[in-house]
Amino acid sequence: MSAELSVMERSQAIKAMAMELGFELVGFAKAEYMEDEAVHLKEWLGLEYHGSMAYMENHFGKRVDPRKLVLGAQSVISLGYNYHSNETLNVEQSPKISSYAYGRDYHKVIKKKLKTLASRINEIYGAFEHRSFVDSAPVLERDWAFRAGLGWVGKNTLLINPKKGSKFFLAEMIVDFELKYDNSIADYCGTCTKCIDACPTDAILEEGYVLDASKCISYLTIELKDDDLPEEYKGKMENWMYGCDICQDVCPWNRFAQQHYEEDFLPKPELMEMTKEDWNGLTEEKFNELFQGSAVKRAGYKGLMRNIGFLNLDSN
C-alpha cells in the first residue's frame, strides 16, 4: 500500500468516525500560515469592528497559524454540527432567543464528541499530538471550514453549505499527521442581498462579507457588558433578547436546513411556553432553572434582564 493511499484511507476513516458521532460536515485543510486571513483580520481589528471584544486582539499569531497551537501540526480537521430547529418561541411579541441556545450549551456537547473522536483515532492509528476547539480558542474556525470545503463565506459573513444551509456549530481538531485535503468551494451568494437588507442595525456592510460586530444584535445582547445598551438601537432589536437569527432566517440557502437530531439541543417545554409577562417578571431563581447548562448563562441574569428591559415589551 502506497503512502498516498494510506493517507486517503485514513482520511476516509476519520470522516466516517466523525459522521457516526453526529457531525454532518467534515473536511481537511493543510495546517499553515493564513496569509490572506491575517491581512483581513488586521484590517477588521483596525476598524474596531470588534467593539469591546478586546480578546479578539490577543494571540494574533496563533489565530493565523495553527502550528503555534500544536507542535508539529500538519492538518486541520474542520467539522460542522447541525443545530437547526423547526421550533420557535411561539408567543407573539415575546422576546426571542437565537435557536442555537435553545438547549444545552453546545461547547459541552461538542467538546465531548471531539474527545471521543480523538480517542477513536488514537485507538486505530496510535498516539498523536492534537488539540480540539469549539468556539473557545484563538482559531479562525469559519476560515478553516472554508479552506476545508465545508462551505463558502456568505455576505452575512457566516459559512454557508449549499446542501445544508448555515445553522451549524463549527469545531476543529489540529493534528500532527497528514490527510487528504479538501478543496474550497465557490461563492453562491450571487446578487442576493437579503441578509444585508434585513439586518435592522445595519451591521453588515453594504457590499456584504464584512460585519461591524459592534452593531450586531448578537454582540449587543451577549458580548457587550455595559449596564445599558446604546440608545441608538432602541426600537431596532426586533425583540431579540439573546443572540439573533435574522441574517440566517432570510438566507435562501437555509431552505435546505433540516431539523437537528441532537437531544441535548432540544428546548425545555417551559422555555417555549414563556409569555412576555413571564419574561418581564423573570426572577434570578427562575433564570437559573430555565437556563441550567445553557449558553444563555453567558449573558447572566443581569445581562438578560437588561436586554429584556431595553426591548420595552409593554409597549408592543
Above 80 in pLDDT, residue 70? yes
Q: Kindly report the average pLDDT of the chain as a whole number.
A: 95
Closest listed residue to residue 149, CA positions, set 122, 179, 191, 120: 179
Residue 3 has pLDDT above 90, yes or no: no
Q: What is the pLDDT of residue 312?
A: 75
Q: Which pLDDT belongs to residue 160?
A: 98
Of the candidates 228, 246, 266, 255, the one whose C-alpha atom is nearest the C-alpha of residue 161 is: 255
Q: What percent of the chain has pLDDT over 90?
A: 91
- Whole-angstrom CA distances from 135 to 39, 84, 150, 258 are 21, 18, 16, 22
Band of the pLDDT at 2, cuts 50, 70, 90?
very low
Identify any residues that bridge with 81 across adjacent strands, giving them in sequence order. Answer: 169
State residue 228's pLDDT score: 97
The whole-number pLDDT of residue 89 equals 76
Mean pLDDT, rounded, for 138-154:
97
**Which pLDDT score is estimated for 5?**
58
Q: What is the C-alpha to C-alpha distance for residues 108 and 29, in angstroms, rounded to an integer? A: 25
Beta strands in 119-243, from DSSP E residues, in sequence order: 130-133, 152-153, 159-160, 168-175, 240-242
The pLDDT tens digits for 87-111 are 887 667 789 999 999 999 999 999 9
pTM of this structure: 0.95
At residue 4, the pLDDT reads 54
Q: What is the pLDDT of residue 152?
A: 98
Q: Tell me the C-alpha to C-alpha distance, in Å, between residue 222 and each of 67, 82, 240.
A: 31, 22, 11
Half-sphere exposure of 174 (CA within 13 A, CB side): 23
For residue 67, is pLDDT > 70? yes
In this prediction, residue 136 carries a pLDDT of 79
Evaluate if residue 1 carries a pLDDT over 50: no
pLDDT 10s digits, 179-233 = 999 999 999 999 999 999 999 999 999 999 999 999 999 999 999 999 999 999 9
Active site residues: 135
Phi, psi for 204 (deg, rounded to 5): -90, 130
Compute the distance between CA of residue 12 and CA of residue 157 in angstroms, rounded to an integer: 29
